Structure formats: structure tokens, C-alpha cells
Amino acid sequence: MSTFAEGAELAPVSALPDAHIASSDELSGKPKRKGSIGMTIILTLVALLWISPLVLLVITALRPLSDFVANGPLAWPQEWTLQNFADAWGVGNFATTYRNSGFLLILKVPLGVLISAMLAFALAKLRLRFGAAIMFAVFLGLTIPIYITIVPVFILQHGRH
């Protein structure tokens, strides 16, 4: 079954007011040059500057404290070690931290997604008496950065010991 009426003619593409006929270069799939070698060099230098703190962090983590103190933070390490990671694991109590994170991942995340989906459905589809107030409260909660809660939670966790 045709959607066009009997006897109707189709106009050629070139007769349409905003028609553009693609050239063979556009259809070949070759990418167009959008920048120059100078811009590539500048962006490479900016990227290296941007990533330099991470590189410094990794190099510092892989050198012993005595080498760091003796030669300074920007010197190339005289020796390499992985002992810093073992020390940090013990001092930072990472085993407990990872266990707590796994617990949250298994329980809190799916439960949070389920409750959020139910709330979103209710606010979008149902006519609730206080729907606008609930939506405002949700948006207000989204404006509070999570970092504000980190210090009180840390104090609560470590204050119990």
C-alpha cells in the first residue's frame, strides 16, 4: 500500500529549496583537516602539563621515603619500591574500607536505584497532592554537594573507636 496518491509525481531532490547534493569528497569518508600542527603541539603540551601531577604522584609512590627526603620531590628516584603500598594498606585500614564499599555496592546501590525509579515514576505519572513540594525537595537535595557530608561521616566513624 503506497502512501502517495495515485498519479502524484515526486520532485527531484535539486528542486527542493534547501537541497544539498553531496560531492564525491563528502561521500568518500576521508576526514577533513580541522586543525594544524601548531594546535596539535599546543594541545599536547597542555595535556602533558595537565597529567604531570598524576605522574609525580605515581613516581613519589614508587620511591622510598629516604630517597624522597634526600633528593627532593622532583628528583628522579635512585631506587624503586612497592613497600609504600603495603604500608598504606596497613595504616589506612583498607581491608575494612573495601569490605564496607562492597557491602554498599551490593545492598545500597540496587536499593537506591529501585526507590529512585519508583519515585521518578510517581512524580512523572501520578497526580500527587504534594508532588511539586516533593520534586522541590529532591532538587534541593541534589544541590548539596556530597563533600559536605564527608567530614561528619568521617568523624562519626572514627569517633567510635
Structure confidence at residue 141 (pLDDT): 86
Q: How far apart are CA 106 and CA 149, in angstroms?
A: 22
Give the Cβ contact number of residue 135 at 10 Å.
14
pTM for this model (two decimals): 0.45
Structure confidence at residue 30 (pLDDT): 63
Structure confidence at residue 22 (pLDDT): 63
Distances (CA, A) of 102 to 38, 107, 116: 47, 9, 21
93 touches 81 (CB < 8 A)? no
* pLDDT digit string (tens) for the chain, length 161 residues: 555 556 556 656 555 566 666 665 555 666 666 668 999 999 999 999 999 999 999 999 999 989 988 988 888 999 999 999 999 888 888 888 889 899 989 999 999 999 999 988 988 888 888 888 988 998 898 898 888 888 888 787 776 65
Q: What is the pLDDT of residues 34-77, one digit of tens each?
A: 668 999 999 999 999 999 999 999 999 999 989 988 988 888 99
**Alpha helices in 5-145, H assignment, sequence order:** 24-27, 37-61, 65-71, 83-91, 94-103, 109-125, 131-143
Structure confidence at residue 131 (pLDDT): 85
Structure confidence at residue 17 (pLDDT): 63
